Structure 1
């Protein structure tokens, strides 16, 4: 009977987790944000500031930085996004009139296929009520997506603040689940994991900001259009381990090619040269107090995390792998040595 109850509870927990996927993602994101801010709070606590005051000071500093970005950067990004949207028709016309496209169209008949698709689409819009209903449903679905994003952002911010304030209490309660004879060792390993994840989040943030600053400087020096908008894209992609910087370099180079190869090539050379400097000099110095994961395990972890949980899985893959390596090194390896 107890075995059946245990299996039933396990199935119930699995069903709950499978049906509250967005909530789990929000909780994980909030946890990593709280752990990323924890080293800053601990430094302020070490200087004699009470934890509530340290948390309030960190949150106010982040809020001030966010407001400064909104006031100074967001209007420029919005203006450049509008300019990019206005240039899209000209870019498409230039692509369709290029010699390379003409040679490709002569072999694959792309233009004829596109014209037939547009004609069929126009006919469906005029006669198919289901199609119009699908468009309306798509608009409603887009609105629900935007609402979910806003709701998720607010929930993540609220949970991050709560986790940051109550993190010591939460960790103490978690350590009490361990047997009393091993509680000190569990607490030591748990504190190492918390510090490692926090240092990783702060270190990755510093690397991403530095990456975006270098990319912005190169864009301004070489004359790449939409520099502010593209630097934001570089900063976001730089948070993705291993492949984010390369992908950002390729995308910005493609955009820079619209202004001419005299603009794209200098930017590509400078940015990819910086990526080498970042990989061998910048990241090791910034991440020396964070997690240490071998390259092969990092690649496997990022690939597995991205496959299982998308971008969020790729972001948390390396800290999770580091925590697993710490347990293996501190727990399982000494047991094997004793045998």
Structure 2
């Protein structure tokens, strides 16, 4: 009986007050971090976009520094060239795009009515019951066709929010270009000497993959916008400029973006320019989809970030659900970094297993 008592209550508890406090503090830290991530979602998105832009521009800064320019001078020169190029394109394109975009918004109710009355929509509705789904989701087609636009105050606040976000990103990019490399070097210098080379190798791979992806994505978006705008103008599609720009931005969502943009532009062409021009636009997007899917995208995603297309699409779907278009932009670099880190961890494990089985 005494042995039972000693075995049940005689031994002191193995859980000390320090251990309990450590566990509670760890749980509290995880919860606080989760709440911080939720509350600071916008700030994290802006920081992520600024980091991507800074990484892409830093390649140009490094090239200029090889010509014996100081880093501050190289950063200023790169930013000046970038701002000049953006301003020039904006002055040449934005006024016409705004004019056509305003006309498109004004004609939206009529276009929606024409789409709803078209034979193609009736065939699709007879097969997929689109109107029933819209009504179940609370989408009244009469309100949709009436063209009820957001209030003016909401639109103005959205414009100011966008301007504020752009200014924030600009300042973040400038500070990251100036102070970012030194901060990363000091952080790596604080690590253990035997692990420092591995950390530098991982950071170098992530830096190269991110820069290559952004450069390739910029090229794809530019090719998409230029080709689409040119083809739509040649065919004679109204509002070709905003539609072409929107098609270019759709390439920021790999694989799925151009398909959605092509379908929407084809329907608008059907409503505004007739069935033959809509057929020509449809054929163009089929051909361009083959070009981007089989030539441009593999050139970017396989040769720069080395990610399987299935993983790319999976990452894009998940990140779009979490952060919209911005998530689609961040999906591939984040997946590339995760893949590089996972490969490095597997390499560490293989090295440890090899060291264990190595004969004396």
Fold shared, TM-score > 0.5 on shorter chain: yes
Match of 1:248 in 2: 261
Could you list the per-position Cα deviations for residues 20-79 of structure 1 after superposition, in whole angstroms to 9, with x for gaps in the alignment? 221111111111111121222222222332221221111111111111122110111111
- 8 A contact 1:218–1:271 mirrored in 2: no
Q: Residues of 2 paired with 1:218 and 1:153: CA distance?
A: 31
Q: Residues of 1 paired with 2:278 and 2:115: CA distance?
A: 17
- 8 A contact 2:115–2:267 mirrored in 1: no
Match of 1:317 in 2: 331
Could you list the per-position Cα deviations for residues 151-193 of structure 1 after superposition, in whole angstroms to 9, with x for gaps in the alignment? 2221111111111222211211331343222112101211111
Match of 1:150 in 2: 163
Deviation at 1:92, TM superposition (A): 4.5
Give the 5 Å matches for 1:12-51: 12-51=32-71
- 8 A contact 1:208–1:238 mirrored in 2: yes
- 8 A contact 2:247–2:261 mirrored in 1: yes
Could you list the per-position Cα deviations for residues 239-281 of structure 1 after superposition, in whole angstroms to 9, with x for gaps in the alignment? 1122112122112111211201211112221232122122222
Q: Residues of 1 paired with 2:346 and 2:106: CA distance?
A: 60
Deviates further, 249-258 or 172-181: 172-181
Question: What is the RMSD of the two structures over their aligned residues, measured on CA atoms?
Answer: 3.2
Q: Secondary structure at the match of 1:224?
A: coil
Structure 2 residue 180 is matched with structure 1 residue 180:
no
Q: Secondary structure at the match of 1:293?
A: coil
Give the 5 Å matches for 1:278-317: 278-286=292-300, 289-317=303-331
Task: Say which of 53, 56, 61 aligns to 2:76.
Answer: 56
Unaligned runs of 5+ in 1: 119-134
Q: Residues of 2 paired with 1:300 and 1:177: CA distance?
A: 36
Residues 71, 187 of structure 1: alpha-carbon distance in 2 compared, 3 angstrom cutoff:
same
Larger radius of gyration: 2
Task: Say which of 342, 352, 357 aligns to 1:328.
Answer: 342
Q: Secondary structure at the match of 1:225?
A: coil
Task: Say which of 265, 269, 274 aligns to 2:288.
Answer: 274
Deviation at 1:116, TM superposition (A): 12
TM-score (norm 1): 0.83
Q: Secondary structure at the match of 1:73?
A: helix
Q: Secondary structure at the match of 2:69?
A: coil
Match of 1:218 in 2: 231
